[in-house]
């Protein structure tokens, strides 16, 4: 009888372990699905902007002189998009079996500047002003590719839901052991009915943008998961018809910017000259 009880306990432990493994596999599968949808969006957005501009040129809506004037910007956007695609392919290959953060020390300012350059044409198409208001170098400890994806999604969403001639700005404020990064827009805001579904795991929430931009409604769920996997939190504040602010926290690096990026330190000759 005692042996039977021991066998039953062992069996229950094995069953519980199997259930946990099944839950982890299901979660991994869901994360991969969200990831691939977000990757497709990241690549599609800048290419769509380029396609729209070239289509207008073909229709004769934009004079060739204007396109020539924007040649440098077009070349830069294409180059940035190719770099993005290369990085996404490499990162996806590395994470396809194990989507865990690989944190390292990084300068958030660099990632913000890179992301703003990538979404610049999306904003220009709607005459939206993009403002980088990071007042100081921000040394962080996080997975750089996950952080890039969070920034791209938040900035793209802000542009998507901001009408023409609006403003999107990004700021960062040091709060204890974390940087609090905020993306604020002057857009349409989020209705009371939609707010509970923003990060929902049980429903897909997709809304067309102010210029009928499309989206899968999955990016914010992935942003939340990536922020939390790096030790932070994602939240938002919104006022319908006035705008929305999405905030996420990211761990502050233990070292200073001057330790690994001296050219960004305030007392460096280059920084002083600027």
- CATH number where 74 lies: 3.30.565.10
What single-letter DSSP state applies at residue 215? -
Residue 163 falls within a domain, yes or no? yes
Can you tell me whether residue 140 is helix, strand or coil?
strand
Total count of domains within the chain: 1
Q: Is residue 89 part of a domain?
A: yes
- SS3 category, 171: strand
- Cβ contact 119:80 at 8 Å: no
> Hey, which residues does 129 pair with through a beta bridge?
167
Assigned domain for 134 exists: yes
Does residue 18 fall inside a structural domain?
no
Which residues, including other chains, have CB under 8 Å from residue 2's CB and lie 6 or more apart?
none
pLDDT of residue 139: 96
Tell me, what's the pLDDT at 216?
A: 44
Q: Confirm whether 21 is domain-assigned.
A: no
pLDDT in tens, 171-208: 999 999 999 999 999 999 999 988 888 887 655 555 76
State the pLDDT at residue 20: 79
Tell me how far the alpha carbon of residue 89 is from its chain's centroid. Answer: 16
Q: Which residue ranges of the chain lie beneath pLDDT 70?
A: 1, 25-46, 49, 53, 56-57, 60-64, 66-73, 76-77, 80, 82-84, 86-99, 201-206, 208, 211-218, 255-274
Per-residue confidence (pLDDT) for residue 136, from 0 to 100: 92
Determine the pLDDT at residue 147.
Answer: 95
The domain in which residue 257 lies consists of 26-273
Query: For residue 261, what are the contacts with CB-CB under 8 A and spacing of at least 6?
Result: 107, 137
């Amino acid at each position: 009888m005692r042996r039977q009880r021991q066998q039953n306990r062992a069996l229950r432990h094995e069953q519980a372990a199997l259930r946990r493994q099944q839950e982890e596999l299901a979660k991994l599968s869901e994360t991969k699905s969200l990831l691939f949808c977000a990757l497709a969006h990241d690549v599609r957005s800048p290419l769509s902007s380029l396609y729209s501009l070239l289509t207008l040129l073909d229709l004769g809506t934009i004079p060739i002189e204007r396109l020539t004037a924007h040649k440098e910007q077009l070349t830069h956007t294409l180059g940035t998009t190719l770099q993005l695609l290369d990085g996404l392919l490499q990162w996806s290959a590395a994470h396809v079996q194990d989507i865990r953060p690989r944190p390292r020390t990084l300068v958030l300012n660099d990632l913000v500047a890179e992301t703003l350059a990538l979404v610049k044409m999306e904003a220009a198409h709607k005459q939206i002003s993009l403002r980088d208001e990071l007042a100081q170098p921000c040394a962080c400890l996080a997975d750089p590719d996950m952080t890039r994806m969070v920034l791209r999604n938040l900035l793209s969403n802000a542009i998507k839901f901001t009408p023409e001639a609006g403003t999107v700005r990004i700021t960062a404020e040091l709060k204890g052991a974390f940087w609090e990064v905020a993306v604020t827009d002057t857009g349409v805001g989020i209705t009371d009915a939609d707010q509970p579904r923003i990060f929902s795991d049980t429903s897909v929430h997709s809304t067309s943008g102010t210029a009928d931009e499309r989206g899968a409604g999955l990016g914010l769920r992935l942003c939340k998961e990536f922020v939390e996997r790096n030790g932070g939190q994602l939240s938002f504040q919104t006022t319908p018809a006035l705008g929305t602010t999405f905030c996420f926290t990211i761990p502050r690096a233990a070292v200073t910017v001057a330790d690994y990026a001296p050219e960004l330190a305030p007392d460096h000759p280059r920084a002083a000259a600027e």
